[in-house]
Amino acid sequence: MTAKGNIYTGCNIENFSLSLSICAERVALFKALSEGETEFAKIAVVSDEPDACTPCGTCRQALFEFAPTIDIIMKDGGAGVKALNIRELLPYPFEK
């Protein structure tokens, strides 16, 4: 969700060569960026697993670079919801 309230969705796009796959978080982020969005409020990561699914390291770094104050809402397969800021998930990001 952008600061303006616009919502962009994403899904994992798998490839036989794992390094060419892309996670749902980056799909949604890059869709928003390609539409000119520059300010982000939060992103939701939803999983049907018993524990909340956190963004991978690559996604954390991309989210930090383009949305350094974003909140990450993580929903598991049950009723559990966890919310953390990107800096809590990536305390030592690569920065300029």
CATH number at residue 66: 3.40.140.10
Structural domain count, the chain: 1
Q: Going residue by residue through the chain, which has 96 residues, state the pLDDT in tens, using 9 for 90 and above.
A: 999 999 999 999 999 987 899 999 999 999 999 999 999 999 999 988 888 999 999 999 999 999 999 999 999 888 889 999 999 999 999 988
Tell whether 13 is covered by a domain.
no
In a 3-state reduction of DSSP, which class is residue 56? coil
Tell whether 63 is covered by a domain.
yes
Q: Where are the alpha helices (DSSP H) in 13-89?
A: 24-34, 57-66, 86-89
pTM given for the model = 0.90
Residues of the domain holding 65: 18-89
Tell whether 2 is covered by a domain.
no
How far is 53 from 59, CA to CA, in rounded Å?
A: 12
**Whose structure tokens read 């952008």?**
2
**Annotated catalytic sites, by residue?**
25
